[in-house]
Amino acid sequence: MESILAATKDAGISTIEEAIAFTLGYKSAMASSSPSSQIPSKAQSGTVVLVTGGTGLVGKAVQEVIEAEARADEKWVFVGSKDADLRNFDATHALFARVRPTHVIHLAAFVGGLFRNLKYKTEFFRYNVQMNDAVMQCCKEFNVKKLVSCLSTCIFPDKTTYPINETMLHNGAPHTSNEGYAHAKRMIDVMNRMYNAQYGCKFTSVIPTNIYGKHDNFSIQDGHVIPGLIHKCYKAKQSGGDFTVWGTGKPMRQFIYSLDLARLMVWVMRKYDDPDPIILSVGEKEEVSIADVAGHIAKAMSFSRAVKKDTTKSDGQFKKTADNSKLMKLYPDFKFTSIADGLKETVQWFEKNYDAARK
């Protein structure tokens, strides 16, 4: 207990809410951390793109894509939670004042897998609403030319027909397992349209399906399904134990590799101006079961024993097939990475970076 109290004191925590955020891994030692060295202190000429959540799964992927496809007239600034607590408007405003962005890709969010969503529904709602509101208001005040926010297919109605498309987002309640996160994210779409109608702001959003890739959170307890399974398989291989999938393995998902999503996010920032959201996903034919994913991971990691299932664990939503026809109509030449190739690259990265990987 004394060590916990000392840690929270060192992190500059003074309230119960901050203590919860610190315990959940959201709040870092804000008082002792300095702004990222890449943040410019004065207004920049040309295009300045601020990427919130820039140290996470998708942010790192965007950074990799930009480094490979650099444009002389664009300045990209990637920030994480140590640069500003986006739940706090004053901290967010100060960040915008330092960076002076012309464009924003808003990836920052309080996220987690199924069991974390079930446990902390209130925090998932409140923290995400606070962040989204602060970022949007600052975009308006600083005359940002374009804001692209990131939603998720898990926010669609639980009771619906498939495949789901962009027009069906608000046609019913989301699945109860992640209702806190889902309702907070749905409000981004509502606010985009209101800011556009009232102030003429060019705010839009993307709806990716399940994302995976390098730099993910590979926590078995709190991570999403693919990074959690990769970590489980790694530990089973090292220990000689079982590689166990939680649930039946039957739920179906469309998975998008983080580098594919990053390329599409950049395309949306540069080319897509509609305030209505756009689904970024592989096609319906590329939908796979969790059991199939576990099999791909086992193969990529050269795990030769049988994959077991713990059917006492919840499956969550059985399927949420998304229709990517809007994307394919606007960007017909885009080529997605196959699930086998993407998982192979992710597994190789995790094995190589095991000690440093988030887990």
Catalytic positions, please?
181
Task: Report the distance separating Cα 217 and Cα 85, nearest Å.
Answer: 19
Task: Report the distance separating Cα 249 and Cα 297, nearest Å.
Answer: 13
DSSP assignment string, 237-280: HHHT--EEEES-S--EE-EEEHHHHHHHHHHHHHH---SS-EEE
Radius of gyration of the chain (CA): 20
- Assigned token pair, 288: 């796979």
User: In 56-179, which ranges are E strands?
Assistant: 74-78, 103-106, 146-150
Q: Pairing between strand 210-212 and 278-280?
A: unpaired
